[in-house]
Structure 1
C-alpha cells in the first residue's frame, strides 16, 4: 500500500474544511475500486482530483456526492456526518454537483433556466400552480448570476443556441443559484475549445472564492493554473497530494499519469 504524503498547503490552517472524507473505500464484488482515501475541500480553495483512466476519480466523486454508498470510511459536510445520508438531503445542506453532460433546459431562455434554479432558495419550488409571471421577482437575481458567468447579454436566447462551453457556464449559473457551500464539478472543461476553456477556467476560479470547490479534471494545464491543492489517484489509492509544483515533480506521478496521458495538456 502507498504511504500517503503528509504535506499540506502552507496556508491550509487559515481555511476550514467544508467537506472531508477519511478512510473512504468502495468495493464492487471482489474489486476494490477505492481504498483508504482521505480528502479535505476547503472554503475559498480549488481542490483538483486527477489520475489516469481507471484511477478511481469518478468513484470517489460519486461517493462524496452520495450517488454511491461507501464500503468503508466517513464523509463529513460542515461538521455533520453525511455518510449514510441520501443525495437529496445532502443537496439541501449545500452540496451541489455538476455532471459531465451539460444539464440545461434547451428550449428555455437562459433567464428562465436560472429562474427555475432560483425557485428552491426562494421557497417557490412547491408553488407549481402559479403562472410564470410570478417568477418575475427573481429576474434581478437571475440577471446578476448570468452577469457573473458572462452571459447577461444572452439572457433572452434559448439555451439550445449556446456553444457547448457557454452551456457549461449557464450550468454554473444555475448551480450558484442554489447557494452552494461546496461545489463539485465533474470534468467541467471536457469537450471545449480553447476559448471556452479559458473562459471556464477563469469562471471556476472566480466561483471558488465563495465556496469550497472540488473538480475532477483531465486538463493538466488548467489544473496547474487554478488549483490550490491536487490529489492524484492511482488504482483507487492516493499516490500524491499537494500543490501543482509538488505533484508534478513527483516521479511516481510522472510515470503513472503525466507520462501516460500525453494529450498535449
Structure 2
C-alpha cells in the first residue's frame, strides 16, 4: 500500500536565540489525511516549531518544504497563500460580527477580496454559499446569525477552525485546539478535526492525552527542543523516557 502524500516536511530544523538553542535537529513529515500530534512538557519547543513551520520565525538551520517546494525563506503571507494555515491558542474571531460574517470575511482572501474592507458587508453576499458550507461542517448552522461573542468557548474554537478552513489549506496547524474546554466541547471539536483531516494534513499541539490517543495517527514527543521519539500513540506511551519526562512515571 502506498504511503499518503507528504504535504509539509522539515529536515534538520534548528533555531538559536542569543546562544540558546530552542529547537535542534527536528525532522517532521505531515501526510495527507493524517493527524500528527506534537507533545512535550512546557518549554519543549513546540510553539517554536510551529512558528518556524509557518514562517513567523526563520530557522537558524534546516529546510522546510510544502508540497515539495522549498519554503525555508518564504514569507508567512506567501506560505499561507500556498496552502499552510494555523490557528492560535487564543481564539481569533471578530466578537461583534455574526458567525456568518466572520466566515465571509475569512473567505475574502482566497476570493480576491482581501483589500476591499471599504465595501459594504452586502458586497460579500456572493460568498454566502461557501461560508454556509463551512459553518455546517463545524456544526454551527444553528448559530450562523448569532454574534461570535455569544458562543460558548468550544463553539468559538469551532468558528475559528471554520475561518481557518476558509483559506482552503493543504496543511492545517492547530495550537492547543482543546485548551480550556469541557468534555462536551472537546468531543465536538475532536469530531471536527477528524472530519477536516480527511482532505488535508493536520499537525496539532495538544496537552489532552486522551484526545491525542483517540485522534492522532502519529505522535512526536519533544524534550528540550529535540525529538525524543516519534510513532503511534501506543508506541510512544510505552517508552520509558516519555513516561518519565512527560506522562509521568506513574502514568497508566
Out of 4, 27, 37, the position equivalent to 2:16 is: 27
What secondary structure, in the 3-state scheme, does the structure 1 residue paired with 2:202 have?
A: strand
Quick one: distance in 2 between partners of 1:48 and 1:132? 38
SS in 1 for 2:13: strand
1:73 to 58, 62, 78: 62
Rounded Cα–Cα distance in structure 2 between residues aligned with 1:104 and 1:261 = 40
TM-score (ref. length: structure 2): 0.97
Deviations along 1:35-83, one digit per CA (max 9) or x if unpaired, are: 1000000111001000111111111111111111111100001111111
Distance 1:221 1:154 in 2: 29
1:60 matched to 2:49? The reply is yes
TM-score, scaled to structure 1: 0.92
Report how many residues are paired.
252
Q: Is the 8 A contact 1:21 1:38 kept in 2?
A: yes
Give 2:121's match in structure 1, choosing from 114, 117, 132: 132
Tell me the equivalent position of 1:111. 100
> 1:91 and 1:260, CA in 2 relative to 1: closer, same or farther beyond 3 A?
farther
| Matching residue within 150, 158, 166 for 1:177 | 166
**Superposed CA RMSD:** 1.5
Contact 1:55 1:234 in 2 (8 A): yes
Mark the runs of 5 or more structure 1 residues left unpaired by the alignment. Answer: 1-10
- CA distance in 2 between counterparts of 1:167 and 1:36 reads 36
- SS of 1:99's equivalent? coil
Contact 1:20 1:39 in 2 (8 A): yes
How far apart are residue 131 of structure 1 and its match? 2.3
Equivalent in 230, 236, 250 of residue 247 of structure 1: 236
Partner residue of 2:132 out of 123, 134, 143: 143
1:43 to 21, 25, 32: 32
Equivalent residues in 2 for 1:84-233 (5 A)? 84-233=73-222
Higher mean displacement: 102-111 or 119-128 = 119-128
Within 1, Cα distance between the matches of 2:136 and 2:23? 40
CA distance in 1, matches of 2:163, 2:117: 19
What is the deviation of 1:130? 2.9
Structure 2: unaligned runs, 5 residues or longer: none
In 1: Cα distance, 2:13 partner to 2:175 partner: 19
Checking the alignment, whether the CA contact within 8 Å between 2:243 and 2:250 is kept in structure 1 is: no
Asked if the contact 2:96/2:148 (under 8 Å) is kept, the reply is yes
The 1-side partners of 2:112 and 2:130 are apart by 14
Helix, strand or coil at the partner of 1:255:
helix
Instruction: Give the counterpart of 2:5 among 4, 11, 16.
Output: 16
